[in-house]
Each structure stands twice: as structure tokens, then as C-alpha cells.
Structure 1
């Protein structure tokens, strides 16, 4: 069965390359660790399973539990949908590379995958910012919480995040497609990422670099600064509370979001550091950090929110109790 699927995929890729007349890309997976790639697929399979099941459970619980129909859980649902998008956007090429050992991918297929991976990454940054704003309003202005964060406003924020992310990512494939590709087109991942692709063209990439820098500053950097500012205001409000017990109770509410921010931005910073300063690091170091950046947040987010959010935790316990019966 595996050989039949392998033959089908190879024929499909060959036909795609001939029809498009564009150079294919070769996906390495793990440079220097080719013999261990089947173990990597098992590991990634576990991460995929936990991510899909965990985020699907959160969406199901929020939908079914009437008491969770609140802005904070709407944002959490949006985060879960986004994490599912991250996982599903990398799955096809990871499956082809690690399981079926298909190393080549068509030009337009690679551009499409790159678009969705970066789209969901930018959206996650925006969602985390929206969640920090939700926490700021809930703690610093609780009496006006439901007045400020109405259902319509939550919907508007979600649409803005999606539209802004789309506008930032949409030009990237077209900017790359305008450049001549005359090298071997070998990628150091099992999926297509812009920082990996931008080194392959033979032409001048200064416009691409300037645009990429502007996109990063206007999304990730700006979002992180605003998240940091929201927590400074939250901390100032919490320190004004006289009771030590109340302080800890309020800060405990923010723990889940702080963990989500850290597991998203720290690996991203690691990718940037290796990309800029890690020329002499092993080839697989950049790949492993990129894997952590793309696979760990979608897997850990539902786990963190399931354990740290009492309402979701109680619903999960009831759900599994019913399943056991």
C-alpha cells in the first residue's frame, strides 16, 4: 500500500513540475540525520495528535458549555482554530518527507504552504495581543468589561487580526515568484518557510528583505511591545491591591496567557538568533528550533489552558467521566 501511495505522489509531483514549468524544491527534513527521520515522524505524529485532539476538545467544550460564551473563551477558541491551522498547514509535506520519503514539492505548492504557515503565525501573534487586552480590561476595568468587549467587538477584533495578517503575508509569494531561481533549490526543512526560501534566488533580494523587515516590525515586534505594555499596566493595577491573597489570585488568572506568549515568542526569537548569528552552528540546529516554533505551541496551548482554566478543566473531567461510563 505504501509503495502504491509513493508512486502516486511521485507521479503527481512530476506532472505538477512539467505543467508549471517552474523549478521544484527539495525538502531535506533533518540535514545530517536522515537515518533517524522515521523516529522524527513518530515524534511529530504524537505532537500532531495532541495538538489536533486538544484544540478540538477546547472548541467543543466552549461551544457546548453556555457559561463559557464569554469574550475570553471566544479568544481562546480563536487561538485553538489558529493552532489547528498551523498543524494542518505543515502536515502534508511533513507526511510526504518523513513517512513516504518524497523529497520534492512543486513551486506553487511550496509558495502556498509558506503563505499559510506565516499567515497563521502572524494571526497567533495578533490573537495573543487580543487576549492580553482582554486580561487588561478584566483586571483594570472589570465593571466595564462586558460593555467594552461586546460580542460584536470581539468579532471585529477577530476580523481585523485575520485581515491584517492576510495583507502582511499576501505579497510574499509574489515577491519570491518575481525572482529567478537558478540554484539547487534545496530547503533545510520538511516544509516551506520564507527565511529558508529567500536565500535561494539568484537576483537582488533587497526589496524582499526590506519588506520582510517591515512586516516583522509591524506585526511581531509591535504585538510583543503592546503585550508587554498591557502586563505593565496589569502589574501596576495589581500592586495597588492591599490584600496579598487577592494579588496572587488575580495574577494566577494571567499565568496561562503568559505561558502561551512565552512558548510562542521564545522559539521565534531562537529562530531569529540562529538565522542571523548561527552560521557556524550545526545545520540541524536551525531545523530543530524551527520545529519547536511550529509544533510546540499548538501542542502546549490546549494543555496549559485545560489545566489552568477551572471551567475547562471541570468540563473535561465530566466529559471523560461520561466516556468511561
Structure 2
């Protein structure tokens, strides 16, 4: 038997108008009343309709092809079920922008929010947007970073420790021992974990002073170029970059120092977007599984919107090493 608003109102002992506001996650309902209606919906097996609802995808990496690809794949996973995504670009970790987007959309019938490597990747980020979503019973999930407030929600991440191991292992097998890392800024969870994985991978191979081979910079071409200069001074014959953009910047920096890639210095990127196949040289990279990440995000959002349980906590996905022409055996003495 189909459960309707009248049934829920009777069970929760509230008006049908109140039930409608709760179902549509609108303001004007007390926490106690909202809890009673939500409990009645669960007891009766009511599932919210998804037709015409919006899912906000919040990211500050719109120009990065990897995040654009994931956002597009999330849209493709949700569209057949009546959900439409809206991209919310909170640039440079703009937590205030995130809150502005969330607070503006929460009264528009928004179904869920996906934090795509946004404030969920930043240590100590403001939690105001998450708190608002919890108050209004709007589910949210994260990609590539657990949330700063420690609340257990679904998070889908690439295994950054394994990614670093794959890159270091590839270069080590090519004979490189002076391997440097151009990583993202400290306090960024994916960057910190890639550094952790890099140090562990180097230590397993008997290289104990690996900390001095790590340079922190921004996730940009310019950041990669800036990071490579001190690594070349140390005599690096290979560079592991924390993003494909940083890897391309490293290649530019290596060339501006009169070196060639990969004859003098090998470079490994991270993300694995399609454009890396057409760079000069084609970039060896550790590919994030954009398809699997987006699929699981889509499945979880659909389940959460339908009031079904989804396992909380972080689910890790294995990356893949893609070998191309930017890596080669270490030069003599390397």
C-alpha cells in the first residue's frame, strides 16, 4: 500500500503542511517536530520522491579535468533517476562560498550535497555548512577526504598511500634512488597522505632521509615548476608529483633548468586525466578511478535521498599506474 502525506501526518500527530515542509527539507519546523516526522516516515517505509531535485556538487578544482570528469560522471549516474546536479565552484578552498551555496540551495528542494575535494580535504575547515545540512536533514557525502568535524558520513577516496607506492616502485625499478616529491600544501588531507605514502615507500627501500626530498607547493602548474627547482639542486633524477598539473609544471621547470625529460629527469603525475596522453612527452601518471568513484557517489546519494542506510566512513579505491614516455631508466650515476 502506498504511503502518503496523510498517513505520515497521522502517525507523527502533525499537520500535512508540516509533513510537506519536512519532506521538502524547508525551514520553519522545530528539531523535535522534524525528528517525529522523520521517524514516522521511517516506520511507514516512506521514500522521498527524487523527481526534479537538485544535487549540489561543491568543488574548488573546476579547471582540473579530473574533477570536471568526476562531476560529469556523477551527473550521468543521477540523471536517469530524476536528480540534476548543479556545480558550485568554491575556489581556493572557499569555505564561506561553500556555506553561501549550501544556505542558498537548501530551501530550493535540494536533495543532497557532494563535497568533491572541497573543504572536506582541509584540516580545521569551518563546519558551518555541514551543521546546516544536518539540521535540515539534507544528506551529504565526500570525495577524497573525510570531514573536518569527524561526523561519520560516506566518503569515497582514492588510496593515496598506494598511489605513492606505485609511483616510487616504478621509479625505483628504473634505477632511480634520488627521487623527489612535489606535493600539495600541508593541511590538505590528500597531499598529506601522499607524502606519508611517499616517505613509507622510500623507507621500505632503504632511503631514510626522504623528508628532505619533499617540497610542498600549490596544486598548480606554477606550483610544480617552483617545487622542482630545489629538487634539482639536491640532484633528483626523478619527481613524483601530487597532481598532473604539478607534473606538467615540473616538466617545464626541468626544461628551463636545461635538463630534459625523461633522459635527465623522470616525472610521474597523479590523477590520470585523458589530456596526459597528449602532453610532450606523454605523462606517466597514477590514475584515479574516476568512473568507480562517481558510480559509488551516485549510488549512495540515491540511497540517502530515498532514506535508505548507507555505510558511513571512508571507502578506498585502488589507483592504477599508467606508464608513458615521461619516465625512463635513471641516467648514469643516478
TM-score of the two chains, using structure 2 as the length reference: 0.24
Question: Which of the pair is proportionally richer in strand?
Answer: 2
- Larger C-alpha radius of gyration, 1 or 2? 2
Structure with the bigger RCO (C-alpha within 8 Å, sep 6+) is 1
